[in-house]
Amino acid sequence: MTEMMRCLVKDKSEVGLWMQRRPIPKIGPEDVLIRIRKTGICGTDIHIWNWDDWSRKAVSLGIITGHEFSGEIVEIGANVKDLKLGQRCSGEGHLIGNKSRQARAGTFHLDPETMGVGVNTDGAFAEYIRLPAFNTVKLPESISDEIGAILDPLGNAVHTALSFDLVGEDVLITGAGPIGIMAAAVARFAGARNIVITDINQERLDLANNVVDAVTVNVMSQSLTDTMSKLNLKQGFDVGLEMSGSSAAFNQMVSALVTGGKIAMLGIPPSKTEVDWSQIVFKSIIIKGIYGREIFETWYKMIVMLERGLDVSKVITKEIPANKYKEGFNTMLAGGSGKIIMDWAH
C-alpha cells in the first residue's frame, strides 16, 4: 500500500487552500526525501491563497504549495554522496536548469529556466517533500527548526541588504514587513550607521522596534525629512532597500538618497509605476533588482551570520499546528503580523 501524507493543495479556482492526503513522493537518484518539521507562510502563499491575477497565471491547480521549510532527510537517492539520513536541513526553493548561459556560468540565481517549489512544482506545505540534493542546505545545530523554516525570506533580506557596501553607511528601508525588518537586522549586523525603516502600518513598525535597533517612521503621521535632520543626515541616505512595492515609498526613497546613492529593490511595484526618472539620472542613482537568493553564496553568508549572533527570532510572531493553517493565513491576511510558522509534526 502506498504511504500517504497530509499536504496543503491549491485544489480549486477560488480563494483558499485545502488539506488533502497524497502519496509520499518517490525520489529519483539525484534527490532526497525530507520529512518536514516546520514551514513559514510567505507573501507568495498569500497570493496563491487569494488566487489573484498573478497566481492564476503562475500556478497550476492541484499543486502542493509552500516553499519555506526545515526538516530532516529520511531517504537518499542512489547518486547522492554528501548527505546523510537524519541530517537536519532547509533548502533552496528555486530549482534551476543546467542549460542556460547563466546556469553554465555558475550564476544560478539568474537562470531564466528556474522553477519555483510550491509554485511550479509540488511544495513544502506537506509532511514530506522531494528535493534535488543540490538544493538541500544542511542546518548546523545552532540554527533551530523555526529559523530553518524562514531562511528563504531571510535569504531575500540578506541578498538585498548585502547588495551594496553598508559599513558606516546610512540606510533607508521602505517597508517593515518581515523581510524589511530582517534586512534592517542584517544592515545593523553588517555595520551600517543609521538605519531608518518606514511603513504606513504601525503594528509592523512596532514589530521592527522589537526586533532591531533602528529608527522607525510611520510616513502616514511622521515626516521622514524631520527624522533625517534629527539624525543629522545632511545629504541623505547612502543606500536604500526597497521592500514595499509601493510607488510612493520608492519615490520618497529616490528623494531621500544622496547623490550617487544606491537602491536594492526587492519590492514589486505595480507594473506601470510613475517614477521621477530625472531625479534618478541627475542624482546618478544605481538601482539593482533583487530576485531570490544568490545560490548558494547568500545561504553561506546567512548561516555564518546566524552562527555569529545575527538574531531575527523575534520576527516570528506565531506558531500553529499545520491542521490549523486557516488561522495562520487569516492572521497574515489581517496584516501587521510577523512570520507565521506551521508545525507539521503535530
Which residues bind to Zn ion, rule: CB under 5 A? 42, 68, 152
Active-site residue identified among 2, 39, 47, 107: 47
Q: Is the dihedral of CA 150, 155, 161, 165 positive or negative?
A: positive
- Give 152 or 169: the residue with its C-beta nearer to Zn ion: 152
- Give 76 or 117: the residue with its C-beta nearer to Zn ion: 117
- Give 54 or 282: the residue with its C-beta nearer to Zn ion: 54
Alpha carbon of 153 to those of 40, 150, 252, 265: distances in Å? 9, 6, 25, 14
- Give 46 or 215: the residue with its C-beta nearer to Zn ion: 46
**Considering the complex, what minimum distance in angstroms separates the CB of residue 213 from Zn ion?**
25
Closest residue to Zn ion in the complex (CB): 42
**Considering the complex, what minimum distance in angstroms separates the CB of residue 2 from Zn ion?**
30
Grid coordinates standing for 325?
Answer: 493553517
The span from the CA of 345 to the CA of 230, in Å, is 49
**Considering the complex, what minimum distance in angstroms separates the CB of residue 328 from Zn ion?**
14
Active-site residue identified among 2, 39, 44, 174: 44
- Give 68 or 242: the residue with its C-beta nearer to Zn ion: 68
What is the rounded (10 degree) CA torsion for 233, 235, 240, 242?
90
The span from the CA of 276 to the CA of 337, in Å, is 32
- Give 193 or 318: the residue with its C-beta nearer to Zn ion: 318
Q: Is 174 tagged catalytic?
A: no
The span from the CA of 39 to the CA of 11, in Å, is 20
**Considering the complex, what minimum distance in angstroms separates the CB of residue 55 from Zn ion?**
14
Q: Is 159 tagged catalytic?
A: no
**Considering the complex, what minimum distance in angstroms separates the CB of residue 43 from Zn ion?**
7
The span from the CA of 180 to the CA of 199, in Å, is 10
**Considering the complex, what minimum distance in angstroms separates the CB of residue 45 from Zn ion?**
7
Q: What residues act catalytically?
A: 44, 47
